[in-house]
Amino acid sequence: TPAEEEGLARATSAGLPLQLTPYSLGLLAPDDPTCPIRRQVVPVAAEAVTVPGDMSDPLGEEAHEVSPGLIQRYPDRALLVATDQCAIYCRFCTRSRVVGGGAGPMPPADFERALGYLREHPEIRDVIVSGGDPLAMTTRRILALVESLRAIPHVEVIRLATRVPVCLPQRIDDELVGALRPHHPLWVMTHFNHPAELTEQASAAVARLVDGGFPVMNQTVLLAGVNDDAHTLETLFRGLVRRRVKPYYLLQMDPAKGTAHLRTPLAKGLEIMGALQGRVSGIALPKLIVDTPGGMGKVPLAESPIVERSPSRTVLRTHRGVEVTYLDPPPPDHQDA
């Protein structure tokens, strides 16, 4: 479309480039610009528009960078930006300021500095390996990174944040799974955003991971014109659970510059979660999360079910709209009265 042609011209000269895999290209509807896969990956003219609230670094990662490529926003965990490259570049990327710059994997000197920081901070028990996309790197490079992290005694959990199972499922092969399996606990945090992404190939990739002992958690980004309705998300969440993937977060999209056309109001996420509550099993229901601008941390959102509260009595509204009174037990010294 003309809007896509203008977006592509801009992406070629500045900003986040266009990149997608042949597999992802095969999922696009070539004659429908409203295609939910196409909206996620094809640039449009609206990316040149900046609105109030837009930020180049919406999660305040530069302010929380403790070593080049290592970000610590919480006391017990850190995020390692292993590479600036992905298999595809999502137009809503929170790191569009750095992703696709062509630098490639983290330089060895920066990686050693990051490891040094982690070794010196025993309070860090969880490392999220992100990027870019760490699984877009070679198996040899991924394995060396994971082995180095696993050698730090207090790092209990390593998470691999990746969209590769969604956009390049062939990459999740027996070689990769076999190489990483000895280094559990390794969690895979992926991004399925629409039921159309749950293809036979993607399902097989997820099955290889789960069968290999990797817990797989999904973080869906709420996107206007892609998945911002209860039916679409119900279908997605049920499909994920059938594939042994836990819907973990429904993320309010970060206010990265030029993404307003894909963002929804906070009220939309609350409306959708309200419609799903009680209609979808708890194992299929993620938390609605806002990662607050400036890097102040994640905040779960939910409409309050509390209608009225007193010191020992609370009135709750259920998903059916019924109000139920819950009574707290009396203090222990009054229970025998």
- Catalytic center residues: 73-74, 77, 86, 90, 93, 95, 254, 291, 298
Q: Which residues are CB-contacts of 255 (< 8 A; sequence separation ≥ 6)?
A: 53, 54, 55, 58, 263, 293
Tokens at 16, concatenated: 């986040």
57 in Cβ contact with 69 (< 8 Å):
no
Cα atoms in the Cβ-side hemisphere of radius 13 Å centred on 334: 4
Q: Are 303 and 315 in contact (CB under 8 A)?
A: no
- Nearest-Å Rg of the Cα atoms of the chain is 22
Distance (Å, rounded) from C-alpha 220 to C-alpha 217? 10
> At residue 120, what are phi and psi to the nearest 5 degrees?
-85, -5
DSSP-assigned beta bridge partners for residue 160: 129, 188
